[in-house]
Structure 1
Amino acid sequence: MKHPVIGITTFIGKNNQEVPKNFIDVISEEEGIPMLLPEIENEELIREQVMNIDALLLTGGDDVDPALYGEDPHQSLANVEPDRDKYELKLIDYALERGIPILGICRGSHMLNVHGGGTVYQDIYKQIDADLIKHQRHDKQEHFTHKVNIQEGTKMREIVGEAEIFTISNHHQAVNKVADNFKVAARTNDGIVEAIESKEPGFLIGLQWHPEDRYHTDDASKNIINKFVEAARV
């Protein structure tokens, strides 16, 4: 059996470029080879990074720079990493060029949407005039945050096999205008977009929630990671 190499994006920590260990663990448990992708500037080397992986996992982190989708910063915008944004946009360019599977989680979903020409709510609580449910957790427990409704006829419904699932979610931003190459695959009961997927065949999915956090105890979360790694074996 082929052991696909899964490139995992990193973010700037206090002293290093790092990534939550959960991402590494769930990929390796699916018998994928996790490869951390440090942020670099040389475009030729970025292309070589992508040439040496079988799938791309875009992880969470700081807010996406609103300048990328033509907006001024809202007063509730949190930290941004413009250099990381630039790097990940190039990763997406080359991954799409190769046609390898891409999974974006939380910020990663926003990057996929912005890359395709979509926009992001800089702060859902300040920019949406509605009675929203709680989307941000303030604890480290691995319990579910809220329910998500999976749209019928989507790849996500095929993967999880259910119309409703409970998820772990922790965000103050969300997809706003959906990019033309994507469609909405899931929403919460308050209407927030929780998943987008490509309109074309293949594995190109952005999730607002964190399946890596419930991989060991939740079938839907495990199925998502499993199908992503399986797609990389082809």
Structure 2
Amino acid sequence: MAPLLIGISARIYYPQAPQADSGGVFTRTLHYLEQSVAHWILHKPQVLALMIPAIEREGLLLPREVNLADYARELDGLVLQGGNDVAPASYGEDPLHDDWHGDRIRDRYEMALFRAFLAEGKPVIGICRGCQLINVALGGTLYQDIPTQLPAAVGHRDLMRYDQQFHDIAITPGSRLSQLYGGTTLAEVNSIHHQAVKDLGDGLEVEARGVPDGVVEAVRWRGPGYVFGMQWHPEFMAGDAPHPRRLDSEPLLGEFLAAAAERKGRGR
């Protein structure tokens, strides 16, 4: 069987001082992905990971010249990786703080990608920002800042600890996520986000919430096909030594790739 071709949405770097004044590559707009995301996907045999470049109005190519739907037709699945905030403008709000204006260009690009893969019935998995993007693309909204809007919430981000910041999640009993982990309803995950799902997008259901604050930690689409979003970063826990309470990243990857293989088989 031909290898699965998994597309990964690009993160975008925009030249800003002081990096933009240092010369070289940092004076250019860059599309990139985190190594850990690619390696998480490539960890499985017969899988190839490909970054999908963003098409933006300021670039050499216009959206009408390169159709992101072409990627959805040729690739077998989509990973929406983490990164900058989703722009409040993308869900009809103004930023509550100048630092929370988000990345509207990336939002437009990733929402177009998401809808193209959804239209093709190809599986989509969203990590952190990717989970939030799925929710917004389906008409939902976000908390722009958990500490500001939910002051009683536990700490969901500690930049000094970064991927070593952990908290518990309660997994919905009977949900697909719970079944995937043998009926588990309580687990520990890493946490590197200050925004979170507020109003659920159309067709989404919650499969995990933070403990004890109830912040949404995982969502799944009830429509046809596979769409799952999680606030934690499974790629940062891949390869870790077994931990009695920490959520293993392997079952999630296996489920996503199995959905891609099944759709690929039906598309022959």
TM-score by length of 1: 0.93
* Map of 1:39 onto structure 2: 54
- The amino acid of 2:44's aligned partner reads E
SS at 2:100 equivalent = coil
Shift in alpha-carbon separation, 1:141–1:193, aligned structure 2, 3 A: closer
SS at 2:109 equivalent = helix
* Cα RMSD, aligned residues only: 1.8
* Map of 2:143 onto structure 1: 121
2:97 corresponds to which of 61, 75, 85: 75
1:222 corresponds to which of 250, 253, 257: 250
1:174 corresponds to which of 191, 196, 206: 196
- The amino acid of 1:146's aligned partner reads H
What is the identity percentage for the equivalent residue pairs of Structure 1 and Structure 2? Answer: 33
The 5-angstrom pairing of residues 183-198 of structure 1 reads 183-189=205-211, 190-198=213-221
* Map of 2:229 onto structure 1: 206
CA distance in 2, matches of 1:119, 1:20: 26
Q: Which has the higher contact order (CA 8 A, sep 6+)?
A: 1
SS at 1:27 equivalent = helix
- The amino acid of 1:6's aligned partner reads I
* Map of 2:160 onto structure 1: 139
* Map of 1:10 onto structure 2: 10
CA contact (8 A) 2:171 2:178 kept: yes
CA distance in 1, matches of 2:191, 2:2: 32
> Which structure has the bigger radius of gyration?
2
Q: Does residue 187 of structure 2 align to residue 165 of structure 1?
A: yes
CA contact (8 A) 1:54 1:233 kept: yes
CA distance in 2, matches of 1:173, 1:77: 12
CA contact (8 A) 2:95 2:101 kept: no
Task: Tell me by how many angstroms 1:123 deviates.
Answer: 0.5
Task: Tell me by how many angstroms 1:159 deviates.
Answer: 2.0
CA distance in 1, matches of 2:98, 2:143: 10
CA contact (8 A) 1:216 1:222 kept: no
CA distance in 2, matches of 1:10, 1:157: 30
TM-score by length of 2: 0.81
The 5-angstrom pairing of residues 12-27 of structure 1 reads 12-13=12-13, 15=26, 16-27=30-41
- Once structures 1 and 2 are overlaid, which stretch shifts more, 114-123 or 152-161? 152-161
Task: Tell me by how many angstroms 1:203 deviates.
Answer: 1.9
SS at 1:17 equivalent = strand
Where structure 2 has 5 or more consecutive residues not aligned to the other structure, the ranges are: 16-25, 57-62, 263-268
CA distance in 1, matches of 2:5, 2:210: 32
* Map of 1:231 onto structure 2: 259
CA distance in 2, matches of 1:116, 1:185: 17
CA distance in 1, matches of 2:98, 2:168: 25
Task: Tell me by how many angstroms 1:231 deviates.
Answer: 1.3
Where structure 1 has 5 or more consecutive residues not aligned to the other structure, the ranges are: none
SS at 1:186 equivalent = strand
CA distance in 2, matches of 1:193, 1:22: 24
